[in-house]
Amino acid sequence: MRWVVVGSRNPAKVRPAQEVFAQLQPSATVVGRDVPSGVPDQPLGEEETRRGAVNRAWAAVQIATMQIAETGQTGEAWGIGLEGGVRIDGGGGGWLFGIVAVAHAGQLETVRTAEMRLPPPVLARVQAGEELGSVMDDLLGTVDVKRGVGSVGILTAGLADRADVWRLGLALALAPFLNADLYRAGPESIG
């Protein structure tokens, strides 16, 4: 049995993990738990965002391991860290992206999600220290958008949402776990 802990209780993060693992193993238990990211609420830059996702994944896998031990069952412990960040490009533009980290059996895999450009008024407030979700709620009159469709859903008029981005990122991060022999193989053993 797989015990999967997502390092957040945010439904926009937990639901995509539940959907992905339901395809892999319908009996998997996937839950969200609050864990510290060790970075600001709104990480800036890829390094800070990656650190937050990795911290969440390692904390989450420890919780999953403890859960298995407490129940007296056997199983696989998985930890998932999902961290949204903003990067500033050389021209001063801001880009929303995410980092997905997966921890399992002492191994860690991270991937960067797709990104999208942020509107200048939103970026200015994020650079001033505000969290993206709060800025979007204030500007658009929404309530807790980060727990729903996210800024992605709002800015794309529903063509994609936050869960879509996390779902794809998680699927990509799982590739080395799903194909361990191929990823361990050296170039000389392929083809």
> What domain count does the chain have?
1
Residue 79: the pLDDT is 98
- Domain span at residue 121? 2-186
Q: Identify the CATH number of the domain in which residue 56 sits.
A: 3.90.950.10
* Domain assignment present for 90: yes
Neighbours of 45 (CB within 10 A): 13
Amino acid 184: pLDDT: 86
Low-confidence ranges of the chain (pLDDT < 70): 186-191
Q: Which two tokens stand for residue 46?
A: 């890829």
The distance of Cα 9 from the centroid of its chain, to the nearest Å, equals: 12
* Residue 191 forms part of a structural domain: no
pTM: 0.92
Q: How far apart are CA 157 and CA 149, in angstroms?
A: 10
- H/E element, 31: strand 29-32
So what's the pLDDT on residue 185?
74
Note the pLDDT of residue 186: 63
Looking at residue 190, its pLDDT comes to 47
- The answer to whether 100 and 173 have CB atoms below 8 angstroms apart is yes
The answer to whether position 92 is within a domain reads yes
Tell me if 99 is assigned to some domain: yes
Q: Are 67 and 5 in contact (CB under 8 A)?
A: yes
